[in-house]
Structure 1
Amino acid sequence: MNPNLLKQLAIVVKQGSLSRACEQLYITQPTLTRSIQQLEMRVGAPVLIRTRYGVQPTEIGARLAQIGERILAETEQGEEVIRQFHSGYHNEFVIGIDPLWEFATVEQMTAYFMQEKRYVFHFRTGSAAAQIELLQKGELDFLLAPAHLTVKQGALDRQLLFRDRSGVFVGKKSALRGRDTVISQEILEKQHWIAAGANAGFLDRPSEIIGLKAASMAFTGSIRSVLHLLNTSDVLVRLPARLSLMTGAVEIDQLIKVPGPKGPRRDIALWSRVDNLERPECMKVHELIRGFMQILDDTVSTFELDL
């Protein structure tokens, strides 16, 4: 089967319209129609049906379109590999990073890794819970994520390299902002709490402070919404304190004192597969990332947190 037919079908299904697919493919509609007809002759059944809202795939059409999507992705990746080869790069490494880590360190990370001329770095942002599975499957080479994840670690190497601790932040419109004394549990229970990082390694819910009080909203994956709310409302949220302050999106007087012990540790570790560390190129990149994280830990302010 001609893979181009599957690629064209994938684009038609994604666009939901033959005319829009033609615009993307830079071909005429009669040409695309002939391609679809060739595919249907090969299948022996329709792959598309017309509706009042455009075209939709049949069951077999949807399955073939998924294959076409993969072919498109592999083709694009192949083109990028060729460009990397002609640019003199030896290899590409995929590094998973936590959303808060990305937001807090993007300038330092970019400056550091742009100096490296041997490798291409693909940074993939997402929740630690999802990315640790990708690391275990071999779809990531390295992962920068919370050090204290509840996962099977038999085949994984973990090196704790960046120190942090959880803290409670209040929105800039909160009456609690700037208070220098411990806020009582009774007052905390009356506040608008949100949860950040649910299922992402930073499982920072207020339950250890205010018991059965429920957070009214939870955010997973993105940190920007949480930081926006801290700038525009009176919400309270637990976050990794050092990384949050590094973003510059929150201020030190938004970090309040709460009853009980210090906030739980939220250290960042460099995770990798043990078998990957047997490869010389992986070892070089591992040391490169390790060096960056150690420099960051040594040079970035601790904001007087007890680390």
Structure 2
Amino acid sequence: MRAAVCVRAGGPEVLEIRELPVPAVRAGWSLVRVTGAGLNRSELRTRQGHSPGVRFPRVLGIECVGVVAASTDPRLPEGATVAAVMGEMGREFDGGYAEYALLPNALLMPVTSTLSPETLAALPETYLTAQGAFDTLGIRPGERLLIRGGTSSVGMAAASIAHGHGVETAATTRRPGKADALLAAGVDHVLRDDGGPLRTPWPDGPDHVLDLVGAATAVDSLRLVRRGGTVCVAGSLSGWLIRDFEPIAMVPSGTRLTAFHSRDAQGGAAVLQRVVDNVEAGVYRPNVDRIFALADIAAAHRYMEDDRATGKVVMLP
């Protein structure tokens, strides 16, 4: 089989297309023929050497969709369509940048779908994170949502979910040229984030803030949300740590600060099926920015690293 192997930490050039043996099935694991894989910025960090404990060479890829080729689990018959997310894919063991992936049965989520491979591949990590954050916030139709980091793949997914549920949405971007993509995703108000004070279209603030920028903006998001509203941090585009964080001084009385981590989406077959059903019904409108072939994985990483994507980048083997 062909696979994109990260041979060492470094730039995109360290991703090499190699011929590898198809993995042998073992107890507790099943073989998946990969039909598509969404690409993620966490894979950039792993490739750059910023994921402690990852040993090279390694086939990267923290998610994939595909068809069961050989199974050790009765609930995963051969020919079943499945998705897999996280669980140390592409870190502790080889991930989705390949024609086949040997994956733990516990990670595999059966799904019924009529979607194209590229559309289905764009959903698992991105939409499970966005849907999980949306559910964590407890957003209801008619409420107001601010998405910080709106042109990230999760931001675009969150905008699609919000639009599908009748939520008035504002989203931030640092690049004015990406405004049209946000509007097409269902955003009502596009806000330019130029590093200065951010103003929302609502005098008393949004009911909820989904903060995908993370550490650099979380405290400001607490300032922006209406008193008694909720801020959910579900991204780390600006890093992991909020330095000199003083909860009593920085969290307004009655305002809630929570988080959602994509690892909580592992095994979320029912949630993923709900997402797929909503996409098939036209309620959610997934944004596939660009599709790359496996052979072009280094170019795909350059594309992501240059922050050129608006939405999801997908690899088809």
Structure with the largest fraction of strand: 2
Larger radius of gyration: 1
Give the TM bin, normalised by the shorter chain: under 0.3
TM-score, length basis structure 1: 0.27
